[in-house]
Amino acid sequence: MHPSKILLAALLLSTLALSATSSKVTYDGRAIIIDGKHKLLVSGSIHYPRSTAEMWPDLIKKSKEGGLDAIETYVFWDSHEPARREYDFSGNLDLIRFLKTVQDEGLYAVLRIGPYVCAEWNYGGFPVWLHNMPGVQMRTANDVFMNEMKNFTTLIVNMVKQENLFASQGGPVILAQIENEYGNVMSSYGDEGRAYVEWCANMAQSLHIGVPWIMCQQSDAPEPMINTCNGWYCDQFTPNRPTIPKMWTENWTGWFKSWGGKDPHRTAEDLAFAVARFYQLGGTFQNYYMYHGGTNFGRTAGGPYITTSYDYDAPLDEYGNLNQPKWGHLKELHDVLHSMEDTVTRGNISSVDFGNSVSGTIYSTEKGSSCFFANTDSKNDTTINFQGIDYKVPAWSVSILPDCENVVYNTAKVSAQTSVMVKKTNVAEDEPAALSWSWRPETNDKSILFGRGDVTANQILDQKEAANDLSDYLFYMTSVNLKEDDPIWGNNMTLRIAGSGQVLHVFVNGEFLGSQWAKYGVFDYVFEQQIKLNKGKNIITLLSATVGFANYGANFDLTQAGVRGPVELVGYHDDEIVIKDLSSHKWSYKVGLEGLYQELFSSDSSKWQQDNYPTNQMFTWYKSSFKAPLGTDPVVVDLIGLGKGLAWVNGNSIGRYWPSFIAEDGCSLDPCDYRGSYDNNKCVTNCGKPTQRWYHVPRSFLNNEGDNTLVLFEEFGGDPASVNFQTIAIGSACVSAEENKKIELSCQGRPISAIKFASFGNPLGTCGSFSSGTCEASNDAISIVEKACVGQESCTIDVSEDTFGSTTCGDDVIKTLAVEAIC
């Protein structure tokens, strides 16, 4: 056969195959419709660059097992286009591989192209070179910006199309998003902001992807964009047109953490309550932000002052472990909701007000009815009567009755296990008890002593413009000549610097003067220290160390970084204050550190000193070798004792570290009460401890055979003597479940070794502190649970008197099984 005919036949077969597997995605006022079927969809956010490609299959598998239908991700412009028209889709930036992994698991995908993403990501995902383009104004009707945004958006769409990954081509992507939360800030951009939104919608539609486009937090999203909700609760959200479904693109499963901030936690009960309320009141698509938070490797954390950990208290923790009971409690909810899909997405809706903050919603079809009963009172349980049957609805909870008769699920009653995770020491063969360290100083004499840089300007530059985000570090250097008759000269002089909130180290004539920094949400401060200057020439060197650029808010891209200015010498005399403004002096600039230019984090340089490493010395490099911890459990490195800096394992950046930044006060000793509206200041922990002590080292960064190398750049000064590698595994599993439930205990891949506690009756306490109550079953609960579970990786137990025997509890007591198992 002629080659052209072979090609034609292949194209025909390809077209036929595509048409046979492609899906039609539409919508109406109730739901997303896929191939004619109304869908109740549960999605979860996983950001591919915040894990590794080797982690993706396990994360997505666990997401599916948790009852998700779809995986949602942003697309990170700054990572994919680090320099204009230079692209990177390698390693954990391989978007196509990520989407195909989602497809392989049989899940849908939601592609939030943005390309502004927020996400506590550096500069909101914008590349800094974009900020530095002449004439650019970002996120508004500006030709320079819109041309670049269109170029990148088109690039992503074409890549996805080329691999047939849109549902219209037979792929997993059922929805795409343009822009992101612009409605929150649009008023600051005036008429040009409105024009920009119209342009975004038209540009997106012109790409013809064959699936719907969404705009989140955009109440006036133009047709045919679907406007969606983000927040802790979206049950009261109403779409801007009756012909589009009620969708929730970000249900915040916890919250991000910042250096110096507390650890936020959102309870499983409250999260489930928010989800159930949303579906009760007509929602049919919701996405967990985050389902797996992951790690801000490298310099990707934004804020500024967002931590390297982006755990988010998500259902899958930073390392990919199940965060129990949150994962399991939500899985049960998803299973119940999916069993009601047809009724909830197509049924007739009626409501009942039972009083006392309790409401009911009934979905009815010709096949049957499903009911939700919600109690929004934050304190009081209430008993209602529905169709002749009494139902007790706990405070701040939703009961779900798939048949409108039997309560199958209540958001406040958690029967999923609680997993207590523990950190275990590295027991790799012949691994020494303490790491051996070599070291070398960071040599920046040219900058600190002599003020020599690479470029000069007669002004103080924004660090984004001077450094173009090539490094956290930028030297600002100037000189000042003083004579004895200078009006400022005296015995009481200070150097005063207006900073931008980032970290600042100050040197005068080669001597360290002091440092200052802020915390999340603070974008300025004034550094002022007394100084001694020489007659004649004096060198002033300022080293700015950014901790991520701003990522959110109106005109966030204009938030200054580095030294804001002015920089002033202040002379305090008896009767007057004299100020010499150095801001318009000739300033010299140098980007980065010598050790970073030399790539000490990955080179085999022999210039490391082997003995007597210094401690508490600023700007010091440390290096050590270690064996990979045995097994497959996630690995962390404990950096206690260090100040602040950067860390690499085998040349892979594991992010910024800052264990010396102690979390602020404000934690309560009282147990967290799930009842009542949640925000990130509720249920916080870790006060008075290092903000982040442990740092994730993905297994794919490690050599299982031979040595591995850890390199640290210590900026503040610290002691690496206590640095060590550990693994994270489940140490114990607890469950507390009411009668007539089947519970599962699991040690997540390792055997259950013992049962520490088991009681069926009215046991007291919580995981780790269970005790017997006033009544118990006639049979020995520990023996029964031991027989069913010890030696097994997981076991299932029927919580009933049939299993444990009759109890001495009265009829008014709700019988409960409490178990604590050791893994």
Catalytically active residues, by annotation: 181, 250
Best CA proximity match to 642, nearest among 712, 740, 557, 589: 712
Partners of residue 373 on adjacent β-strands:
360, 399
Rounded to whole angstroms, how far apart are CA atoms 124 and 553? 10
Backbone φ, ψ for residue 272 (5° rounding): -65, -40
Whole-angstrom Cα Rg for the chain: 30
Q: Count the Cβ atoms, other than its own, within 10 Å of residue 185.
A: 16
Q: Do 113 and 177 meet the contact criterion of CB atoms below 8 Å apart? A: yes
CB-count exposure of residue 544 (10 Å: 0-12, 13-18, 19+):
buried
Spatial separation of the C-alpha atoms in residues 705 and 347, rounded to whole Å: 59
| Residue 341 CB contacts under 8 Å (≥ 6 apart), including other chains | 38, 39, 40
Nearest CA among 515, 268, 293 for reference residue 412: 268
Residue found by looking up tokens 């954990």 in the block: 92
Tell which phi-psi region holds residue 215, choosing left (phi > 0), alpha (psi between -120 and 50) or beta.
beta
Q: Residues with Cβ < 8 Å from 93, sequence gap 6 or more? A: 48, 49, 76, 79, 80
Measure Cα distances from 757 to 488, 729, 749, 803 in Å: 75, 20, 21, 17
Residues 6+ apart with CB under 8 A from 205: 213, 224
Let me know: does 763 contact 772? Beta carbons within 8 Å.
Answer: yes
List residues bridging with 216 in a β-sheet.
Answer: 228
Angle at 87 between CA 82 and CA 91, to 5 degrees: 95
DSSP secondary structure string for all residues of 448-473: HTT---SEEESSPPPHHHHHTTS-SE
Contact between 202 and 228 (Cβ < 8 Å)? no
Of 326, 328, 316, the closest CA to residue 47 belongs to 316
* Count of all residues that appear for the chain in the document: 823
* Three-state DSSP state, 62: helix
Q: How far apart are alpha carbons 319 and 648 in whole angstroms?
A: 17
Q: Tell me if 524 sits within 8 A of 499, measured CB to CB.
A: yes
On whether the CB atoms of residues 524 and 498 are closer than 8 A, the answer is yes
CB atoms under 10 Å from CB of 806, counted, come to 11
**Nearest Cα residue to 212 out of 36, 34, 22:** 34
What amino acid is encoded at 791 in this protein? G
Alpha-carbon span 216 to 380, nearest angstrom = 35
DSSP letter at 796 equals E
Peptide bond into 224 cis (omega under 30): yes
Angle at 235 between CA 221 and CA 66, to 5 degrees: 100
- Give yes or no for a contact between 214 and 182, defined as CB atoms under 8 angstroms apart: no
Q: Give yes or no for a contact between 148 and 141, defined as CB atoms under 8 angstroms apart.
A: no
What is the Cα–Cα distance from 22 to 17, expressed in whole angstroms? 9
Q: Is 687 helix (H, G, I), strand (E, B) or coil?
A: coil
Q: Which of 36, 50, 42, 147 is nearest to 91 (CA)?
A: 50
Residue with tokens 């599993």: 733
